[in-house]
Chains A and B, each alone.
Chain A
Amino acid sequence: MTDKVLSTPPHVEPVVFTRDMLDWLPWLEPMAEQDLTARHMEGLVDAARAKSAYFRLLARDPEVLGARTRTDKDIFYNPDAGLPRAERELAAAATSRFNGCIYCASVHARFAATYSKRVEDVDRLLAEGVGADLQHRWNAIVAASVTLTATPISFGAEHIDALRKAGLDDASIVDVINAASFFNWANRLMLSLGEPSAPPAK
C-alpha cells in the first residue's frame, strides 16, 4: 500500500498574496512519470504537464482531469465574443483571493496584470482583498465573482444590473459566471491536495 500523506520538503511558505511565481508541493503521491500511459497523457492534455506534480496527482483520475482541463481552457482562452481575457482572469483572481487560495491568486493575478496592464489595481486586489476599489467596471466584476463564490450564493439581479451598467453584454456576464464558478473548482483542488512554496528569498 502506498497510500500515505507525504511530508513536504523544507520550503518557504508564502504568507501574503503575490504575483510572484510559486511552486506547489503535493500532500499525496502523484503518479510517477514513467507510469503515465496514453490514457493519462490524454487526461493531461499538454504533454508538458507531465512535469507538474499537481497534474500528475490529478492524473489518478485521468478522465475527470482531461474534462476539467478542456473546460478551463475554453472558459479562459476562447477569444470569441464575451469578456476580454484580462477580465476573465480578474474574476479568477478575485475568486481565489476571496476563497484564500494564495497559489491560484498568484497565477491569475499575473495574467490579469499582463493582459490588462493595470498592475496597480491587481496589486490592490491582492493587498486589500475583494473590497478594494478598482473603479466601477472591475468593481462590478469582483462583486459578481464574490457573491457567486459565497455560500450560500448571494449573486442576483443587482449584480447583473451592475455588470450591465458597466457595459457587459450577456455573453460577457456568462464569462464572469463561468470564470468565477470554475475557480471555485480550481481553488478547492489546489488548497486541499497540497501547498504553495515561495521561491527562496533573493
Chain B
Amino acid sequence: MPDVIDTLAGIAPGSPLHAIRDQRPQARLHAQASYDSLFSPLSEADASRLERFAIACFVIGLHGRPEMEPLYSAGLTGAGAPAGLKDAIAKAAAAARGEGPYGHYPKGPLSTEDQAGPVHRLDAAARAALGRRLAAAFEHTHMLVFHPRDSAPAHLQSLIDAGWSTTGIVVISQLVAFLSYQIRVVAGLRALSARPA
C-alpha cells in the first residue's frame, strides 16, 4: 500500500523529499501504522469505522485543506455512510470553522494571555442528522482543533453521557490529535516541495 503522507503531499519515489523522508524511516513507517490502526482498527467495539471517518471528515473540513478531502471522503463512503451524512458533515464543518488556537489558562499570571473564542454547539438539524454520539464527538472535536487549552473534565463527561466508553474517548482523542499532525505534515511538505531551493 502506498504511504498515505507521500500520496497526500504529492511526494513521488525518487524525489528529493522522498529521500529526506527515508532518513526518518521509523517515523514514516509508524505514521502510516498510526493511520492504519485508527482507520482499520482491530476492534470497532468502542468506535466504529463509520464514526472514525465521520470525525475525520469534520476535522479536515475545520482545517479547510482540500488536498485531504478525497481520501477521507472515500473512507466515509467505504465505511457505509448513509445518504446525507456526508452533506451533514460538510455543513457542520462550514458552520464551525474558525481560527485557533485560542482559549484560557489556569487563573494566574497567564490570564492576561486568555483569548476568548467560540464554544461551538451544533444546531438542531446537525444534531438530528449526526445522532447523539457523533454530535457530542463533533463538539469535542471543535474544542480539540481550535481551543484545546480549554479542555476540562466536563467535556469528557459529555462524551460519556452520549454513550462513549473510556476507550472510545481515547480513540476519538488520538484520532483528532493524529489528524492535527497528519494535516500539518502534509501542508508543510507541500509548501516545501512548491518552493525548491
> A146 CB to closest chain B CB, in angstroms?
10
A78 touches B26 (CB 8 A): yes
A 158-202 contacts with B by CB, 8 A: 159-161, 164, 170-171, 173-174, 176-178, 180-182, 184-189, 191-193
A 75-120 contacts with B by CB, 8 A: 75, 78, 80-82, 98-102
B188 touches A70 (CB 8 A): no
B166 touches A61 (CB 8 A): no
Q: Once bound together, how far apart are the Cα atoms of A146 and B37, in whole Å?
A: 29
Give chain B residues whose Cβ lies under 8 Å from the Cβ of A150: 99-101
A100 touches B149 (CB 8 A): yes
**Cβ-neighbour of A63 out of B21, B27, B42, B107 (below 8 A):** B42
B 75-102 contacts with A by CB, 8 A: 98-101
B33 touches A100 (CB 8 A): no
Instruction: List the B residue with the shortest CB-CB distance to A146.
Output: B101
A27 at the interface (CB under 8 A from B): yes
Q: Once bound together, how far apart are the Cα atoms of A129 and B110, in whole Å?
A: 10
A35 at the interface (CB under 8 A from B): no
A-contact bits for B143-167, CB 8 A (1 contact / 0 none)? 1111011010111110010001111
The interface size of chain A toward B, counting residues with CB under 8 Å, comes to 71
Q: Once bound together, how far apart are the Cα atoms of A41 and B80, in whole Å?
A: 34
B 23-46 contacts with A by CB, 8 A: 23-27, 29-31, 33-34, 37-38, 41-42
Interface size classification for chain B? 35 or more
A99 touches B101 (CB 8 A): yes
* In the complex with contacts A177-B184, A188-B176, A74-B25 CB distance below 8 A: yes
A70 touches B30 (CB 8 A): yes
A28 touches B194 (CB 8 A): no
> A123 CB to closest chain B CB, in angstroms?
14
B17 at the interface (CB under 8 A from A): yes
B109 touches A15 (CB 8 A): yes
Supply 12 A–B pairs (Cβ within 8 Å), ascending by A: A4-B160, A67-B31, A67-B33, A101-B149, A148-B188, A151-B98, A153-B183, A156-B191, A171-B23, A174-B24, A184-B184, A189-B177
Which A residues fall within an 8 A CB radius of B? Answer: 2-7, 13-17, 27-29, 57-58, 60-61, 63-68, 70-71, 73-75, 78, 80-82, 98-102, 129, 148-153, 155-157, 159-161, 164, 170-171, 173-174, 176-178, 180-182, 184-189, 191-193
